[in-house]
Amino acid sequence: MPFTDHSDLFGAVHEDGINRLVRHIMRQRPSLFNYATPFFHNNAGLFCVKFEVDERVLKAKNPLFTEQEPLPILGAPVPIGLNFCLQLTDAQIDFHPGNVFGLPPELGALPAQRFALRLKGCMGIDCPSKEIIDELLPLIERFLVSQQQLAIGEIKERVPGISTHYTPPVAAVDNRERPRTIPLPTRQLICFCLELFAVGHFEWGSVPGSQQIWLKTRLDGLEIVDMQPNDMESAIECYLTTVLKLGILPRLIIPLEKMVLDVNKEFQEMGLTLGRTVTLQPSAVPADVPNNPAVEEDQLKAFMKLIITGGA
């Protein structure tokens, strides 16, 4: 059957293509998917999950991760922290029918006209050894006493032999003149990974103030696998759902013309100004097609009508 049986223009993208595209982006822009303290520049072997990097990235000496401040040790009188890494290691999409990965029982089978998303993230946090803590503890205590920063009472005794002000080393002050947190020495990290599954759908819609039609991604359900206790899981899932709905998915809306063909722009690039206005509109549901956009046969499909207005 022709693709344009019930429409003027048709566009489809297969889940395999999107998943390959994501893998290319992960290899060529690793800093979008890996976040860690600068310690990892010389200790890449301590990342929770090894990741592939494209040769061009290495050749250009691009950072393999986005630098983060160490995880601060709350209450410490000086800005010290722990090295950590946060990695998005897998991202896959599965258009109906589900056959790329299985969904957790909480989300059930992938319904018709829906897509599933699987994200796997791993985090590693340094756990300081007993020796390091035993070594630092007297210094911390001495600093607190000298600074009169104890929780109970005022100390009459003056403790000598330690500086009264913490002055970070020059190298620890970045260009924005903000004192950086000093990480504790790290030998190994404790890693854990979480898998997140989401189910959603696509729809056409408008944006207030815009004349265009936009393809929007909508979230129907979200599940984090094997997290306890249940209330914590629910709270985190609720938070992530809100982040996705209000923070990430609104950034992923696509104007209809960009999906297939921006006719006016194409002609303008050819140096030709059209005497009429050529626009695209989604084909009507159910008059023209049963679903639009359609998520079926492992593809996202869009059916469009060509509207020509103005002129003779």
Partner 1 sequence: MADLTVAVSESAFQRLFVVLRDSIRWEAQDSTSFGPFTAGYHVKGHLEGGSVDFRSDNSVLVDELDVRWDMFQFTLGLDIPEICVGGGCIDMPWPFPDICLPRWCVFSANPDVSISPDLAAFVAQELSVAGRPVVRYYDASIPPPLIDPCGLLRDLLVNASVIDPFPDHNQWHIFLNPDFIDLDLFDFADIVGNLIENALTAAVTALLPGGWVRDLILAIIGGIADFIRWLLDIPDEIDEWLSDLFNISFGLGDLLIQLVGEFFGACVPLIRVDDPLEVLAKEISTSVLLSGSPVELVAVTVPVRNLFVRVDDVEMVVQADVGG
Interacting stretch for partner 1, rule CB under 8 A, among 102-110, 117-125, 220-228, 255-263? 255-263
Nearer to partner 1, 182 or 193 (CB): 182
Closest approach of partner 1 to the CB of residue 7, in Å: 7
Angle (nearest 5°) at CA 88 between 105 and 128: 105
**Residue 189 and residue 124 in contact, taking contact as beta carbons nearer than 8 Å:** yes
Q: Does 291 bind partner 1 (CB under 8 A)?
A: no
Tally of CB atoms within 10 A around 9: 18
Q: Does 296 bind partner 1 (CB under 8 A)?
A: no
Nearer to partner 1, 20 or 235 (CB): 20
Q: Which residues contact 223 (CB under 8 A, 6 or more apart)?
A: 103, 104, 106, 107, 196, 197, 198, 237
Interacting stretch for partner 1, rule CB under 8 A, among 98-106, 133-141, 170-178, 236-244? 170-178
Token look-up 């030709």 returns: 272
DSSP codes joined into one string, 116-181: EEEEEEEEEEE---HHHHHHHHHHHHHHHHHTT--SSS---S---SS-SS----GGGB-TT--BPP
* Of the residues 7, 146, 217, 279, which one makes contact with partner 1 according to CB under 8 A: 7
Q: Which two tokens stand for residue 287?
A: 């008059």
Q: 65 burial class (0-12, 13-18, 19+ CB within 10 angstroms)?
A: buried
Interacting stretch for partner 1, rule CB under 8 A, among 19-27, 74-82, 110-118, 161-169? 19-27
Closest approach of partner 1 to the CB of residue 226, in Å: 31
Nearer to partner 1, 58 or 207 (CB): 58
* Of the residues 247, 276, 281, 284, which one makes contact with partner 1 according to CB under 8 A: 276
Closest approach of partner 1 to the CB of residue 292, in Å: 14
Nearer to partner 1, 197 or 202 (CB): 202
* Of the residues 163, 167, 211, 273, which one makes contact with partner 1 according to CB under 8 A: 273
Could you tell me how far CA 195 lies from the centroid of its own chain?
13
**Residue 149 and residue 78 in contact, taking contact as beta carbons nearer than 8 Å:** no
Q: Does 288 bind partner 1 (CB under 8 A)?
A: no
Distance between CA 206 and CA 191 in Å, rounded?
Answer: 43
Closest approach of partner 1 to the CB of residue 147, in Å: 27
Closest approach of partner 1 to the CB of residue 193, in Å: 24
Q: Does 255 bind partner 1 (CB under 8 A)?
A: no
Q: Which of residues 64-123 bind partner 1 (CB under 8 A)?
A: 66-69
| DSSP structural state of residue 206 | -
Interacting stretch for partner 1, rule CB under 8 A, among 52-60, 117-125, 196-204, 239-247? 52-60
Q: 92 burial class (0-12, 13-18, 19+ CB within 10 angstroms)?
A: middle
Report the interface residues with partner 1, using CB under 8 A: 2-4, 7-14, 16-18, 20-21, 24-25, 28-29, 31, 38, 54, 56-57, 60, 62-63, 66-69, 174-176, 180, 260-261, 263, 267, 272-276, 278, 297-299, 306, 308, 311-312
